């Protein structure tokens, strides 16, 4: 069936879709004041956690468990938004277990952050700020510092970034080299500014804490993989992210999203946010399922996890062999990054 024949949206199809390590810096010391809060910083998010499905198995590795047969979300003992936050008039119900990790999830439409304790529990609700364009490296560092200002004190920092990251340095930042966001004009000065940018060092200097940074799909994968067999992670948001793990060990990062997919366009161009807004959820799902089939033939994975803001549009419409991952995994992977030995 051609896409032109793929019409007749269901009620849920009428929406336009969702949003889509290296040790460095001071080992200790107080958190520096990043300055006044940025315009557009939202109040803490208080969305209710996804409800578990009926008859699902027990908690899965990584603190997640199946929901509605194909979806995983944080277990009650891990960290849904607001979990572990008991700061009523009397203060904390129990002292958070350290070390406390500031986890930052950088996306093409928004940047999110929260502080996690050693048991994966959020000690504060997530905060979010819109991603602004054009976004230079210096503006990015300032945006993150302003975003985290309302959050509790932390001991260390983890950052998931949408691009190629190696040993704490940004090699590519495909979203942030554009004038107005993905799909708009690429600015040569931003390409040069982001190339080999020492993001971990610069953030550590600004925040006063050691920083580890990794690709955002790699970071999400650290939160959800079981550690058994060949496991593949796909994130669907502003663009498409991928990560591959063998027995829990992360493979070198590949930017599969920039490979040709169909009609002379890449996966990013065909199933990213811009395509979803243009063609609608029904056609977008058809394309995305085709993309997942391509990845299955290419990788021959044992299990595939699908996350990111737009993964919710696949719930109930995808083979149960694919596991839908709650978007909070982008935050929870922050602790896993500090549990690794060596650099990503």
- Which pLDDT score, from 0 to 100, does residue 341 have? 53
String of DSSP letters for 42-81: PPPP-PPPPPPPTT--SPBGGGEEEETTTEEEE-TTS--T
Q: Where are the domains of the chain?
A: 15-48+56-339
Model-wide pTM > 0.75: no
CATH number of the structural domain 15-48+56-339: 3.30.420.40
- Which pLDDT score, from 0 to 100, does residue 26 have? 42
Question: b/e for 34-50, b at 16 or more Cβ within 10 A?
Answer: beeebeebeebeeeebb
What tokens does 246 get? 């063998």
pLDDT tens string for the chain (344 positions)? 444 434 334 434 443 333 334 444 443 333 444 444 333 333 344 333 332 222 233 333 333 333 232 333 443 333 333 333 333 223 344 677 889 999 999 999 999 999 999 988 889 999 999 999 999 999 999 999 999 999 999 999 999 999 999 999 999 999 999 999 988 999 999 999 999 999 999 999 999 999 999 999 999 999 999 999 999 999 999 999 999 999 999 999 899 999 999 999 999 999 999 999 999 999 999 999 999 999 999 999 999 999 999 999 999 999 888 999 987 888 888 888 998 755 56
Phi then psi dihedrals of residue 94, to 5 deg: -150, 150
């Amino acid at each position: 069936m051609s896409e032109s024949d793929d019409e007749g949206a269901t009620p849920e199809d009428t929406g336009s879709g969702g949003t889509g390590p290296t040790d460095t810096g001071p080992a200790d010391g107080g958190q520096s004041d990043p300055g006044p809060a940025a315009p557009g910083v939202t109040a803490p998010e208080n969305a209710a956690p996804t409800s578990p499905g009926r008859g699902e198995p027990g908690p899965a590795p990584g603190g997640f468990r199946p929901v509605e047969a194909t979806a995983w979300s944080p277990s009650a003992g891990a960290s849904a938004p607001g979990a572990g936050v008991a700061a009523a008039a009397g203060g904390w119900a129990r002292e958070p277990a350290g070390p406390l990790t500031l986890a930052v999830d950088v996306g093409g439409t928004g940047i999110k952050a929260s502080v996690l304790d050693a048991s994966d529990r959020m000690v504060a609700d997530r905060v979010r700020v819109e991603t602004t364009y054009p976004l230079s490296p210096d503006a990015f560092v300032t945006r993150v510092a302003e975003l985290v200002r309302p959050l509790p004190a932390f001991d260390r920092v983890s950052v998931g970034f949408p691009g190629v990251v190696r040993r704490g340095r940004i090699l590519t930042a495909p979203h942030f080299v554009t004038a107005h966001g993905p799909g708009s004009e690429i600015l040569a000065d931003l390409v040069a500014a982001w190339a080999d940018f020492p993001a971990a060092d610069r953030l550590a200097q600004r925040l006063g804490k050691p920083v580890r940074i990794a690709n955002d799909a790699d970071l999400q994968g650290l939160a959800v993989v079981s550690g058994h067999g060949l496991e593949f992670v796909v994130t669907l948001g502003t663009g498409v992210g991928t990560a591959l793990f063998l027995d829990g060990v992360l493979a070198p990062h590949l930017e599969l999203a920039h490979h040709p997919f169909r009609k002379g366009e890449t996966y990013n161009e065909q199933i990213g946010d811009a395509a979803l807004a243009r063609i609608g959820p029904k056609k977008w799902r058809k394309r995305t399922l085709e993309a997942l089939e391509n990845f299955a033939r290419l990788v021959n994975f044992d299990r595939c996890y699908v996350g990111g803001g737009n993964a919710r549009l696949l719930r109930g419409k995808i083979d149960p062999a694919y596991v839908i991952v709650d978007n909070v995994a982008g935050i929870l992977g922050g602790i896993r990054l500090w549990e690794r030995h060596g650099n990503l």
